[in-house]
Structure 1
Amino acid sequence: MAAESVRQFFTARSFAVAGASTDTAKYGNKVLKWYYDHDLSATGVNPNEPVVYAVKCSPSITTLIESTHLDSISVSVVTSPRVSQLLLEELNRLGPGVVKGVWFQPGSYDNATLAAASKDLNIIAGGRCILLEGEQGLHASEKL
């Protein structure tokens, strides 16, 4: 994983966790909690979970951006590869000006998913986990 990709990911003003969950055993919950533990502005994205950690979830990234007027976001993806591919289609439409990075957690993508990504999106994949490597990125972006 290129250090510059991770640094760019953390330059976003806000973060989203696609696949956020109320189940504390799931990584959609652990990743969202990681953002909160690091005092980062993060919102869960899940059409089936209305609230996680007492924060209202958004049903989609587009809805989140439109409802909050975000102009800079990075997305952690903790969904199945099939759902991740649909998410990428949405992120491709938003473009790299708004989307600073997309970090695929292990198991959230396959080759078809990555092939669906626009060449302009900053993609972090390869089995890397934000829970293990996120602090390095925060340091690189001077947010920690």
Structure 2
Amino acid sequence: MEAALKTFFSSSRFAVVGASSDTAKFGHKVFVWYLQHNLPVTPINPRVPEVSVKSSNYVTVASPNNLSSPGDTSLSIITPPAATMKVLQEAKDAGVPAVWLQPGSYNDEVMAFARKEFDAAIGGTEGGTSGDEGWCVLVDGEDGLKLAGREWSKL
């Protein structure tokens, strides 16, 4: 999993599929994590035109196909497994190199597809995650940043 983490965080851009303005949702918490770590992040949500974090608004895109540089963007995905499979197919077609399937976003079929089709796919519980529910950027992300040699300062 170390190689996958390094590949994921070697991207120059990031996006959160399922980003939300609702502070109770993990799509919001994961999006905020990227902001707090000063990483360039785009919210992906086809249902709303923007996501709000505190007093700032961030324009959303509807799918990975709408990213400005999908080949340079790693995706964190927080959607139900059926929606995740559709997102993964779009991401593959767009040229996204790496994905992080947050807990609850995958089943065995989704995880197998992700591992087959992407340079790096993070998810599941094997390989040293610190979280009880599987690999999560909120729990394991800082270790991934270190593996990729990324300097960061939490806001």
Whether these two folds match at TM > 0.5 is yes
Counterpart of 2:131 in structure 1 is none
Q: Paired residue for 2:103?
A: 106
The match for 2:64 among 57, 61, 65 is: 61
1:87-133 superposed Cα distances (whole Å, 9 cap, x missing partner): 111122234xxx23100000000112123336240111112110000
SS in 2 for 1:119: helix
2:20 matched residue in structure 1: 21
Letter of the 2:59 partner, please give it: K
- Asked whether the equivalents of residues 10 and 74 of structure 1 are also in contact (C-alpha less than 8 Å), the reply is yes
Q: Which runs of 5+ in 2 are unaligned?
A: 125-133
CA RMSD of aligned residues (A): 1.4
Q: Contact 2:115 / 2:121 at 8 angstroms: preserved in 1?
A: no
Q: Give the TM-score taking structure 1 as reference length.
A: 0.89
Contact 2:70–2:94 (8 Å) recurs in 1: no
Q: Which residue of 2 aligns with 1:131?
A: 138
User: Kindly tell me: are residues 36 and 63 of structure 1, through their superposed partners in 2, closer, same or farther at Cα, counting changes over 3 Å?
Assistant: same
Separation in structure 2 between the aligned mates of residue 104 and residue 71 of structure 1, nearest angstrom: 18
**What SS is found at the alignment partner of 2:111?**
helix
Task: Give the conservation status (yes or no) of the 8 Å contact 1:19–1:79.
Answer: yes
User: Unmatched 5+ residue regions in structure 1?
Assistant: none
CA contact (8 A) 1:15 1:74 kept: yes
Please tell me whether residue 116 in structure 1 is matched to residue 113 in structure 2: yes
Deviation per CA, 1:48-105, whole angstroms, max 9, x where unpaired?
A: 12111311010111112xxx2454010000001010000111122234xxx2310000
